[in-house]
Amino acid sequence: MSATRVQLISPRTLRLLSPGRSALFLPGGGGPHRGGGVPGFRSLIFPSLSSSFSSPGRALSSLSTTRRGLPKTKMSDNGTMSRGKVLTIDNMNPTVKKVEYAVRGPIVQRAVELEKELSEGRKKPFAEVIKANIGDAQAMAQIVFLKYKNKDAKSRACRILNSCGGNSMGAYSASQGIGSVRQDVARYIERRDGGVPCKPDNIYLTTGASDGIVTMLKLLVCGEGATRTGVMISIPQYPLYSAALAELSAVQINYYLNEEKCWSLDIGELQRALDEARLHCNPRALCIINPGNPTGQVQSRECIEDVIRFAAKERLFLMADEVYQDNVYAEGCQFHSFKKVLFEMGPEYSETVELASFHSTSKCYMGECGFRGGYMEIINMDDDVKDQLTKLLSVRLCSPVPGQALMDLVVNPPQPGEPSYERFIKERTSTLSALAEKARLTEQVLNTVEGIRCNPVQGAMYSFPRITIPEKAIQEAKKLGQQPDMFYCMKMLEETGICLVPGSGFGQREGTYHFRMTILPPTDKLKILLNNVKEFHQRFTQQYS
């Protein structure tokens, strides 16, 4: 069986999956992949494939449980399943092959299998799989969705419904989003930014922030070869960006955040990355995630001003991913919106710098990820280009209406004087302070472990500690064709049931290793989790010393 599986990847297919135009070598996600055909970041295609070859058992196990036994397609004589198919790896869209998304990648697939095995009564060294890989507050039964029943809820509901076609959430909305919701979003932004005006016409309601980000990137990518659009993105980053850039065949330009200085952003590093990139592509956009994912750093006001000046000087389109704007915990840290800072820097900047800022219903204190609600605000975009953006969005008709309605609630919470206000404030404060406490706890516990170094979690919902992996383990990982931190995380999953995402899925400096874990589990579970991580790390270090 394993021999036949291995034959699935014909040499021809291998040749086709050759590295693309990646600007910098970026450690990608290795490890077992279903079907053996899913490549990592472009520069790491071969290691990903070889992992399937050298660990066919792994590939098999991940295949068999999720595929429920033998595949239905008949094998032809030479064992190649794809023969005779109209749509094959060879003739499908080549850009799709370049995409990888670590947050739902192979480690999660393995976690799902383990959950199934547990439910079937198989014995494991742990009683449950803890999925601390994805920022899903609802799944952690954590955040109580405030569904206020009384008058202010009713009046909001009426307003939203009146703006829907046929007064129903079941009707399509305008593709830019329901008018009254966009007005409310604009008012929210004005309140948040101390009065800086916001036009509803610059607001687009999207299917989660991801929809907006991917659409903007799609809009901006053009050119060929040396004039191909380059997009600057922080390392570490949220892999939606790398996935989208890979698929669009845009050039990914990495700028490294400074781990020693609590993941801060350094303009000198931005300049270095940009200057190097200019030699082989046309850099046009700069993406920044603030508060950061996976790092959780909250940028200072000075830093934001520096970035704006840099973007202005270098004529870059600024994409500010601010989905965690409501999740700031650390003392002395404050969220500064890019737009506010931009406008406070005077017309020289506020009238020229092009900015798109993104928010979503998936994070903040509401954490309603399943609704897929989000918005983007577009500033200083050329009118004709804006028309193209509107056109592009209209192809998908509209974003889910419940998500739009939810966005309205996020930006339009109960105000002082309204009946639901007290309860709302209470729930929100307790949620946020619980998160702050968990952030502190996480940093504290992990820093007691030799070989783990955890920066303070200033915001967002994750911790991204650096781990020291013994040389022997690194060698073992190499033999299996896995990234060392993937190897580490897989072992952790098998031994403790804890599912984390290896740092290689987000990008990190060569020779360093990390993992990302969410701080969302309830405090008592989190304590156990942290303890288990600590014990595992000690065991692992011992085992491979």
Partner 1 sequence: MSSMKEVNPMVLGIRDPVSLQSLAARITEQIAQGEQKPFQRVIDVSSGDPHRAGMPPLSFARQVLAVCLYPKLLKESSFPVDVRQRAEKLLGACNGGSVGSYSASSCGIPQIQKSVAEFITKRDGGVASDPEDIIFSSGSQRTLKLVLHLLSSGQGPTQTGVLTPLPCPHTLPILLDEVGVKLVPYRLLEERGWTLELEELHRALKAARRHCEPRAIYISNPGNPTGHVQDLKTIEEVIRFAASERLVLLVEEVYQDSVFGQDKKFLSYKKVLFEMGASYSERVEMVSFHSISAGTMGECGLRGGYMEVINMDLLVKNFLTSMQGPCSPPVLPQLALEIMVNPPSPGDASYEVFTQEILQKVETLTQNAQRACEFLNGVPGMSCQQAMGLYPCLHLPAEIIQEAKRSGLRADVLYCKKFLEEEGVCLGPGSENGHDDENYHIRLCISAPAAVLEDVLKRLQSFHLRIQDRHH
Does the protein bind partner 1 through residue 85 (CB under 8 A)?
A: yes
Measured distance CA(195)–CA(173) in Å, rounded: 29
Measured distance CA(164)–CA(168) in Å, rounded: 6
| Residue 466 contacts residue 512 (beta carbons within 8 Å) | yes
Binder of partner 1 out of 165, 194, 195, 522 (CB under 8 A): 165
Other beta carbons less than 10 A from residue 67's beta carbon: 12
| Residue 323 contacts residue 209 (beta carbons within 8 Å) | yes
Instruction: Indicate the residue among 284 and 428 with the shorter CB distance to partner 1.
Output: 284
Does the protein bind partner 1 through residue 169 (CB under 8 A)?
A: yes
| Residue 501 contacts residue 515 (beta carbons within 8 Å) | yes
Other beta carbons less than 10 A from residue 203's beta carbon: 25
Measured distance CA(73)–CA(71) in Å, rounded: 6
Binder of partner 1 out of 255, 358, 371, 506 (CB under 8 A): 371
DSSP-assigned letters across all residues of 375-400: EEEEES--HHHHHHHHHHHHTT----
Does the protein bind partner 1 through residue 3 (CB under 8 A)?
A: no
Partners of 318 in beta bridges? 286, 355
Smallest distance, partner 1 to C-beta of residue 320, A: 16
Does the protein bind partner 1 through residue 38 (CB under 8 A)?
A: yes
Please, which of residues 267-286 interact with partner 1 by CB under 8 A?
A: 284
Instruction: Indicate the residue among 239 and 484 with the shorter CB distance to partner 1.
Output: 239
Instruction: Indicate the residue among 324 and 544 with the shorter CB distance to partner 1.
Output: 324
Tokens of 150: 């009384």
Does the protein bind partner 1 through residue 79 (CB under 8 A)?
A: no
Rg (CA), the chain: 24
Please, which of residues 494-523 interact with partner 1 by CB under 8 A?
A: none
Does the protein bind partner 1 through residue 160 (CB under 8 A)?
A: no
Binder of partner 1 out of 88, 258, 512, 538 (CB under 8 A): 88
Smallest distance, partner 1 to C-beta of residue 315, A: 9
Binder of partner 1 out of 166, 268, 346, 416 (CB under 8 A): 166
Please, which of residues 283-312 interact with partner 1 by CB under 8 A?
A: 284
Smallest distance, partner 1 to C-beta of residue 422, A: 18
What secondary structure letter does DSSP report for 145? P
Instruction: Indicate the residue among 296 and 505 with the shorter CB distance to partner 1.
Output: 505
Instruction: Indicate the residue among 399 and 458 with the shorter CB distance to partner 1.
Output: 399
Does the protein bind partner 1 through residue 129 (CB under 8 A)?
A: no
Residues 6+ apart with CB under 8 A from 31: 48, 51, 58, 105, 106, 107, 482, 483, 486, 487, 490
Please, which of residues 206-265 interact with partner 1 by CB under 8 A?
A: 207-208, 210-211, 214, 218-222, 239-240, 243-244
Residues 6+ apart with CB under 8 A from 114: 124, 129, 493, 494, 497
Does the protein bind partner 1 through residue 62 (CB under 8 A)?
A: no
Does the protein bind partner 1 through residue 1 (CB under 8 A)?
A: no
| Residue 459 contacts residue 324 (beta carbons within 8 Å) | yes
